[in-house]
Structure 1
Amino acid sequence: MYRYINVYKYLSLVFIILSFIYVIYLSYSFAFNIFVGADVKINEQGKLEVTNVLDYTDEYYSGVKKGDIILEVNGEKGSDIQLKSGRLVNVESLIVERDNKSFHLQNVSLISEENLFMYLIPVISYSICLFCIFFIYRINKVRKSTSAYILILFLLFVSVAYVSACGARRGEEISTYLLVLTLVSCPVLYIHFIYKYFIELGTKLFEKKILIIMYMLPLINLLLEDVLSNRLKSSAFLSNLNLISFFVLVLTVSILIHKGIRKFKQKEQKSILKVLAYTNIFSFSPFIVFFAVPYVFLEKYVSPFSLAAFTLVIPFSLVYQFMTNRLYNIDFVVGRLKYYGFLAITPTIIVVTIFNYIQQPKDIFYLVKLTIAIYVLMFAVFYFKEIIDFRFKLKRFTEKFNYQDGIFKFTQLIKQASSVDQVLNHFKNTILEVLNIDNACVYDNSKGEITLLSKNNFKDLTYKNHEQYVKNFSGDIGKIKEFKQGFIIKIGERGDRSFLVLCFSSYNTFKLTRDEIAWLQTLAFYTNVSLENVMKIEELMSHLEEIKQQESNPVWLKKLMYTIEEKQRSDLARDLHDSVLQDLISLKRQCELFLGDFKKDDNPCREEVQDKLVQMNEQMSDVISMTRETCHELRPQLLYDLGLVKALSKLVAQQQERVPFHIRLNTGRFTASLDLDSQLNLYRIIQEFLSNAVKHSQATDVLIMLISIQNKIVLHYEDDGVGFDQEKNTEHSMSMGLSGIKERVRALDGRLRIETSEGKGFKADIEIEL
């Protein structure tokens, strides 16, 4: 792969150097030998006669016309001039005879309006391409991408094709060959870059043999140009052949891209191909529609030098995509272009119709060109108008009717609103400031009951005369109903409650404009969102107040508290294990080493000190064991690793070693899949039952059963201990830890049933719905 990269790299460097030399040569030719573009022949009188003048060439701009008799060329007699393929080349000045009058025609200046599209713009475009190539080289030092060097070749071929077209038009033979090679190769290099780019993305767009076939066409055209150019009297056949080849290749590229769009469903790949398809259409369509097709079939066409500038859109868009590795939103761009294009149709028709009526041009092709120019101009006006409006935030109306500023101020006000009344007052004040209305009042329609929330002072109007509009109003948010002196709008709704604003004007023929209606609807949607948020907050605060007055906390709060508690337990267990426990183990190890060394020494107090050390070592072992158990109780690691059943089995086994009663655990019928929080709560409940049994029950036998039946989990605990009287000894039940158990059961949204009495043991059943 790296071998191919180096080949493309050196090939691109060679083409850059050759293209630079060619542009310097062409500039020299333009500066010192710039008078070509006429076909001549020796007439019956033996004089040089102009038979055709090519459009947009130096002779065209200098005033040479068909039928002129050439008397002198560069100071020499016309009869002594050697013709080359029926054309005059390298001419600086002419003296021609026209209507029995002599005219001295001088060459146009290099820096002139005539040479703008013939030389200056192509050379500037070439310079810009070189600038882009420089940045591609810099970026590709890191990427090392083959497609980058193909993109460089494509940029060079496009820019050289643009420049060589000018030289070919002047009769430069080397420019003609370069134009044939570069122009026909541009679509091939374009699709070659796309092919390599997608290969690097891990996707194959089409078969490689298609590329090989496409590369053969430019070589065939170049060969035909060399063989037939000197044998044919006219170059029209070869020009048509080259343009047809170019059109076929462009069509092939479009078909391949279109198939790729249909083939790949991935969003990124489809977006890339859509960008390429649209740029392909935008770049090649003007050249094909207004030059290639008319040149072949009509022999009337728009200057190819101005149309060729459109083809630069492709390389620059590819450079943007390659350098930034981003895609612009092509759907948005195309949507806006369609919108501006539709708007530009009407003014174009009006201007062209007026021009045609006043001037009455005889040349239809001239009228077509004028129509296109005016359409493009109108399109550009609409496009840049929106950009300027957005960039500079121009205010098209007075401050009174500046709707966008009104929305901005309103959003700033409602950010600080903390009640429904504040939001409604902000809405009312905003429309009073912006719209041409005098008064407004807000109504609350709750289940058909109308309540007036706010009002302004009226002079001649009363609310009761207009309440009928409120009672009979129905519709969605932003719905507006106009009447003689004002309008009513719905600005908010929640449940069976809706908010309406009734507005009045002092004019008897009040009418809202389209802009005002759109602005009011937007403002109503903003207000509705704010009202819903404020009302939800008020409902939440009211609910929290109700909870505060109740004795117990809600289930969600209990779950949150237990989750926080488990996290704190886990953090504490981790800290104990990583710090205190490790320090204790290290200290015990040091003590054992010291005790081993101490036994070897002869010391009168050896036995007494040795006993003390052994006692300290045993105490440290007990502390280490207790710390480990505490860590396990705080964070049952086995539960996190293997699940609830394994953790309960270990818990019972550990407890059985320390307690004086027998514990039976039955989890054989438990198959439910629970989340970690639910497993932790069940584990803590059983842990608390066992803790109470150790402290208070004086039992000899304890039974724990955990089973799952359909969509329900049942936990049964039973012991044969002393029990207690639930009615008389509430404080005792609290001391047994039942309060914590009840809270955890409630957090699991379960039910707890307790059966106990003095001397008859203790039973508890917990049911949890899945």
Structure 2
Amino acid sequence: MISKVKAPLYTLAILLLTVYLALNIYHNRVIGVDLQQGTDGQYSVAKVEKGFWGEGRLQVGDRVVSVNGESPGRSFFVRQYDRIEQADEVSVIRPLPDGGSDAITLSVEKGLPTRELVLHLIIPLGTMLLFVAFSVFVYVRKGQDRAAGYLILFFLSIGLAYFSAFSSTRLDPVGRLVITFTFPIVPLSFLLFLNTYLKQQIQKRLMPDRVVWIGLGLIVVNGAIRLLELSGHLHPRLQSVASLILMLTFVLGIAYIFYKLIEKFIRHRHDHLKSLFKFTLIGHVVGFLPFLLLFGIPSLFGLVVVPADVAAVCLIGLPAVYLYMFTTKRLFDIDFLLSRMLYYTIIAFFPTLLITGLAVLIMNQHNYSWVKWVQMFLVVYLLITIFLFGKEYMDQRLRPKFNKDLYNFQGSLDRFSSRISRVMKRADLERVLEQEVRSILPVQELAFLEVQADQDDAAASAQANSRKDDFAASLALELLASPRRLAVGTAIEVTRGLCVIIGHRRSTYQVLWIGEKYNRTQYNPDELGWLKTLANYSAIVYENLYLIENLIGDLESEIRKQQGTPTWVLRLIFRLSENERRKLASDLHDSALQDQLIWYRKLEAVMLDHDMSADLGRDLAEIREGLLDVIHQIRETCNELRPPLLKEMGITEALRSLFEQAQIRNNYAIDFEEKPLTAELTDEQTLTIFRIVQELLGNAGKHANASRIRIELEQRGDLHLRYTDDGVGLDVEKLNDSYQHMGLSGIKERVRSLAGTITFRSEVGSGLEVMITLPMESANMDIESGMLDDSNLAG
């Protein structure tokens, strides 16, 4: 929007104007004395403003004899504004109580006092230079963007209006002219910026075009009035009206901005644009509301609650917020910030009140100064210690009320830990993790990357599902170039989102890439902590699944070489599968289950130790019951993965316990007929019989819709197991080709792994009969047991 030729000229003009205003402010103190002209043409002091040079030196009623050695009427500022400013010397005649008078000549000291130097020059000049730097930055990044041009105008108009206000206070013509045009441009330039930005990003307009023309018309009117004033053609009594019109223009512009932002927020409060309009609305409340309430609106009625130089300090942060929003196309998580701000504001109120009250009492004592400081230190130290001690209690009781997401994150972790217990493939784990992330975070895109880094030549490559290879490779390079150490749970911001390390093995990193959220807010600390916990859970399962999949791949390769599946391979596969199940059950029991038990005990302790309302008691009781359900689910999962006391109880008692639990969860009855076993079963045979019966009962409940089941177990030389049910039955000829009956196919493989035989008898609608025979002693089993060494595996 701004050409490369004109940009340096604009920058030079702004800097020269800044230098002029700075010199004018530095060389001229604010005198702050209003005059009135009597009928005899002489001037007397009508008002002395507090906080400026005239206070304590001049008094109301003093007759001004000369300003800078000349008649007051010859001074431009006295003649034009009935005010003394930019003077080096003032002579007055002060009437005395006895009827006499006293001639006084006062010299205006050079240089600014500390307060004026900081508030009138250092802060405004630093702010102006900062806004110039912001403008240059935006121009370099997006100079040809129309929205960038309006944003630059917004920055410069705020900076110049803020800076020139202090020159205008000294009645400098240039300063008054600058503030006349820049002050009303502030709301107008912001409206133009936000209107253009919304059209570019979401194809929505903020305001109609006539608003712009009205704003320009008001700027022209204010400019014409100011030019009449500076030329001396405006009556002095109308000058206050001119200032009133200027302030009214600014107030109306800001009020219109608030109106449009509130309107847009209400309209989009239930969609992904809520955060954008809430962000801009809060930004304007923080930036403009103190200035409007403490200075702008009271000045319309002739009141000043807080001086303009103090109230305007809040405006400094507003351009920085929009600079961040425009250049990064992201927003702060305003809901997260507001909840934290409200929470800490409330808990900080009473300690602040106590410290202030005790400080007043201590400072009013008539002791030595060092004694007061020691007392102050001890009191503040004690109160802060007590406050921090009580903060733990307040964090438990109050913080969840201000941050409702804490419950969502805890429930998500409980749900995720329960679901991963049934995961048997990496693809399934990634699907469960994706579903959990999408259920909590409003993300647009999500993908899993496998990043491989070669430490020798620092080369990196990546492969991603559902993403193009070039994008995956660029993400991998950006990730590996990060100065942060790559470890499980680490979350690293990248150009287009966030990368979370969810697994690591040798030089391979499993990475979850999450794109930007729909509302374009940053990921807040609670979300990052939740993602880290998910990553740690996932890393445990990833490691186990990685080992299983690699081993199965090696075994499949060996099987292809031997043109068939030897029984020892099947036994090895089932043995390894059981080992991994036990390991996963142990991990869940030692981590997720123990964590849930700890939180359950803490919750019970809180409910027993503290009085609470009936509603809160019911809510906490409901949470407690939910925790118990999760604990029960994890325990059941661990029991399914690793049958408890199977070896100690024996197969008969273990089956009875299994039947008791199965009949509670399903609508069928089980008749179990067993005869004493004459020989002791091996651990492998015991586990095989248990898993087979477990799978048959699961099939009866999920697919067969059986109401009565009969199971017979006896030993007649070999071990015999007979299963019958009255379910819907199946076509035995299609058993091998049916995905639905993969459990029954697995039973066949288990039986074959122990050199046993199995027979299925069934027809559609007439139930199922399964007869299994397992040899108690097998020469083949003894011979092949020596082949269970890892040296037989391919690779």
Q: TM-score, normalised by structure 1?
A: 0.50
Larger RCO: 1 or 2 (CA < 8 Å, sep 6+):
2
Q: Which is greater in Rg?
A: 1
Q: TM-score, normalised by structure 2?
A: 0.48
